[in-house]
């Protein structure tokens, strides 16, 4: 819970004007979040905000979120959206069932 709160709220406490969205969950593509992360780490009061979040929850949360986004990035390099992910999950069982049916008809 501490990581989630830090990612949602701590960026607004930084002396930073370069980032439009302070709720870091806005960034759902690895490349976009990585750019924001690099900017955030260089802000003079970053360490102070990180410490105030408790046990470095802000920096640790960002590292984990960056790793999460990296691992879910599609092979083609396109960014995923929640809607795209949901559609893929919903279509997989039916496409698998269709493949199974097609395979059994060929035999």
Residue 10 to residue 24: CA distance in whole angstroms = 9
Q: Is the pTM of this model over 0.85?
A: no
Q: What is the pLDDT along the chain (107 residues), one digit of tens a residue?
A: 899 999 999 999 999 888 889 999 999 999 999 999 999 999 999 999 999 999 999 999 999 999 999 999 875 545 445 444 444 444 344 433 444 444 444 44
Contacting residues for 34 by C-beta, under 8 A, at least 6 apart: 66
Q: Helices (H) and strands (E) in the chain — how many of each?
A: 5, 0
């Amino acid at each position: 819970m501490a990581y989630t709160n830090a990612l949602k709220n701590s960026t607004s406490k930084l002396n930073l004007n370069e980032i439009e969205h302070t709720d870091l969950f806005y960034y759902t593509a690895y490349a976009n979040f990585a750019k924001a992360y690099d900017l955030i780490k260089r802000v003079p009061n970053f360490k102070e905000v990180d410490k105030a979040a408790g046990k470095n929850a802000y920096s640790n949360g960002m590292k984990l979120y960056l790793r999460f986004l990296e691992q879910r990035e599609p092979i083609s390099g396109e960014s995923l959206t929640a809607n795209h992910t949901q559609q893929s999950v919903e279509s997989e069982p039916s496409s698998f069932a269709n493949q199974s049916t097609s395979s059994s008809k060929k035999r």
